[in-house]
């Protein structure tokens, strides 16, 4: 592995095992000089639930361990490895990369980015733009979060940083109008991808729903197949709250994929297992820092090994 790719894996593992990982420490203390009996398995299942993996996955993972014919002196390392392999299988179907995002037959690919405030939408758009630009693609950013002037400035900064054109109309303007203008510009300039930023903080759910519906209705006038992806950005450090956010946003809009951020600063990566199990939505990338290069593909085995504090394969 190259230095660059190892760097982010180390950051992911360090993030997931911040100070000490309750999951890995828990496994060690449960297995400490104990045989694998039903009370130990129950403790393990409880630990997996409290580490945000969800009840269904916790049951399934514990059962798989109890079915394996371990030697009587099973070590915590055996359990870590077994869990990492089984978790990887749960994550495999949702683990995707940016190339897996839907592409239109012609015209720009349109990606609408939604999520609760502070989840990392604008930063993720900046990182996506940086990555796609580096691949030689031409990118347009739509400053659809018109709720705060600072949001437009922040997107403009990322646009300058990544060499992307930013379309904005100022604070208080209509986000759907910004999105439409940006799509027209992207079409006419032959851009490859349009990334639309949106507000996370609105007065209430029906305001947000109305705003997102209008954005879609208006861009459909310019391109009936757009948006090609609606990405929900989730902050991993919020743990269980991420589940509620998916549910809420799915009631508002048809989410087609996830990006999970802040995995560099969280011991709460277990939530991804729960999300995969409950929703099966593709995870197109993960955020492991605040810089332009800190967006990485979501790889099932690498992630599972990091979660269990094992070296990457
Ligand atoms: N450590 C870390 N910080 C991140 C990551 N992604 C975003 N952030 C930080 O999280 C904070 C919020 O990010 P934004 O991109 O502004 O979030 P947003 O969803 O656009 O927020 P609103 O516009 O307020 O709705 C910023 O300080 C980012 O630098 C990540 O992967 N890791
Ligand atoms: Mg923002």
208-257 pLDDT, tens per residue? Answer: 889 999 999 999 999 999 999 999 999 999 989 999 999 999 998 999 99
Residue that is last in its domain, among 74, 91, 108: 91
Tell me, yes or no, whether 306 lies in a domain: no
Tell me, yes or no, whether 152 lies in a domain: yes
What is the C-alpha separation between 119 and 226, in angstroms, rounded? 24
In sequence order, what are the residues at sequence separation of 6 or more whose Cβ sits closer than 8 angstroms to the Cβ of residue 5? Answer: none
Q: The tokens of 164 are what? A: 């992307």
Give strand pairing partners of 141: 166, 195
Q: Are residues 133 and 259 in the same domain?
A: yes
Tell me, yes or no, whether 304 lies in a domain: no
Tell me, yes or no, whether 303 lies in a domain: no
pTM for this one? Answer: 0.93
Domain coverage including residue 38: 3-91
Q: At what angle do helices 38-50 and 55-67 cross, to 10 degrees?
A: 150
* 262 neighbors 234 (Cβ within 8 angstroms): no
Tell me, yes or no, whether 308 lies in a domain: no
- Cβ of residue 118 lying under 6 Å from some atom of ligand 1: yes
* 197 neighbors 143 (Cβ within 8 angstroms): yes
Q: Are residues 231 and 133 in the same domain?
A: yes
Q: Are residues 18 and 106 in the same domain?
A: no
Tell me, yes or no, whether 8 lies in a domain: yes
Name the domain count of the chain: 2
- Cβ of residue 238 lying under 6 Å from some atom of ligand 1: no
Q: Are residues 87 and 109 in the same domain?
A: no
Q: Are residues 78 and 175 in the same domain?
A: no
In sequence order, what are the residues at sequence separation of 6 or more whose Cβ sits closer than 8 angstroms to the Cβ of residue 163? Answer: 133
* Ligand 1 atom at minimal distance to the Cα of residue 145: 23
Residue 121 CB-half CA count within 13 A: 26
The residue ranges of the chain whose pLDDT is under 50 are 1-2
pLDDT of residue 39: 85
Q: Are residues 170 and 294 in the same domain?
A: yes
Q: Are residues 71 and 218 in the same domain?
A: no
**265: DSSP letter:** S
Residue that is last in its domain, among 25, 60, 91: 91
Q: Are residues 164 and 232 in the same domain?
A: yes
Tell me, yes or no, whether 140 lies in a domain: yes
- Cβ of residue 153 lying under 6 Å from some atom of ligand 1: no
pLDDT of residue 1: 44
Residue that is last in its domain, among 53, 71, 91: 91
pLDDT of residue 4: 54
Q: Closest by alpha carbon to 271, among 91, 101, 121?
A: 91
Q: Which H/E stretch holds residue 286? A: strand 283-287
Q: Are residues 204 and 186 in the same domain?
A: yes
Q: The tokens of 88 are what? A: 């990887």
DSSP line for 128-145: HHHHHHHTT--EEEE---
pLDDT of residue 33: 65
Q: Which H/E stretch holds residue 229? A: strand 229-235
Q: Are residues 118 and 187 in the same domain?
A: yes
Look up the CATH number of the domain holding residue 59.
Answer: 1.20.120.140
Look up the CATH number of the domain holding residue 133.
Answer: 3.40.50.300
Q: Closest by alpha carbon to 265, among 238, 292, 283?
A: 238
- Cβ of residue 201 lying under 6 Å from some atom of ligand 1: yes
Q: Are residues 74 and 47 in the same domain?
A: yes
Tell me, yes or no, whether 195 lies in a domain: yes
Q: Are residues 225 and 281 in the same domain?
A: yes
pLDDT of residue 220: 95
- Cβ of residue 121 lying under 6 Å from some atom of ligand 1: yes
CA 24 – ligand 2 centroid, Å: 34
Q: Closest by alpha carbon to 23, among 310, 312, 311, 308?
A: 308
Chain centre to alpha carbon of residue 274: 13
* For the CA of 128, the nearest ligand: 1
The answer, yes or no, to whether the previous bond of 227 is cis (omega within 30 of 0) is: yes
* 16 neighbors 306 (Cβ within 8 angstroms): yes
């Amino acid at each position: 592995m190259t230095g660059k790719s190892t760097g982010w894996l180390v950051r992911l593992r360090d993030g997931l095992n911040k100070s000490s990982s309750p999951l890995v420490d828990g496994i060690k203390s449960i297995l400490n000089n104990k045989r694998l009996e039903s009370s130990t398995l129950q403790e393990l299942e409880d630990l997996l639930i409290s580490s945000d993996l969800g009840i269904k996955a916790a049951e399934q993972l514990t059962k798989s361990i109890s079915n394996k014919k371990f030697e009587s002196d099973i070590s915590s390392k055996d359990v870590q490895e077994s869990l990492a392999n089984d978790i990887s299988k749960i994550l495999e179907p949702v683990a995707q990369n940016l190339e897996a995002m839907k592409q239109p037959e012609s015209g720009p690919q349109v990606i609408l980015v939604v999520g609760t405030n502070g989840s990392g939408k604008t930063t993720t758009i900046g990182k996506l733009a940086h990555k796609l630009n580096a691949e030689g693609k031409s990118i347009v950013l739509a400053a659809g979060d018109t709720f705060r002037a600072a949001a437009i400035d922040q997107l403009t900064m990322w646009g300058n940083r990544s060499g992307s054109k930013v379309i904005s109309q100022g604070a208080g303007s209509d986000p759907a109008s910004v999105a439409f203008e940006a799509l027209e510009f992207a079409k006419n300039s032959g851009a490859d991808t349009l990334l639309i930023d949106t507000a996370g903080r609105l007065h209430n759910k029906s305001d947000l729903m109305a705003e997102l519906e209008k954005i879609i209705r208006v861009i459909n006038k310019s391109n009936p197949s757009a948006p090609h992806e609606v990405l929900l950005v989730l902050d991993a450090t919020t743990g269980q709250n991420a589940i509620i956010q998916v549910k809420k946003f799915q009631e508002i809009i048809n989410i087609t994929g996830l990006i999970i951020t802040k995995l560099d600063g969280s011991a709460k990566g277990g939530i991804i297992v729960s999300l995969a199990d409950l929703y099966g939505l593709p995870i197109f990338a993960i955020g492991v820092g605040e810089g332009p290069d800190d967006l990485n593909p979501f790889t099932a085995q690498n992630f599972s090994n990091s979660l269990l504090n094992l070296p990457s394969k």
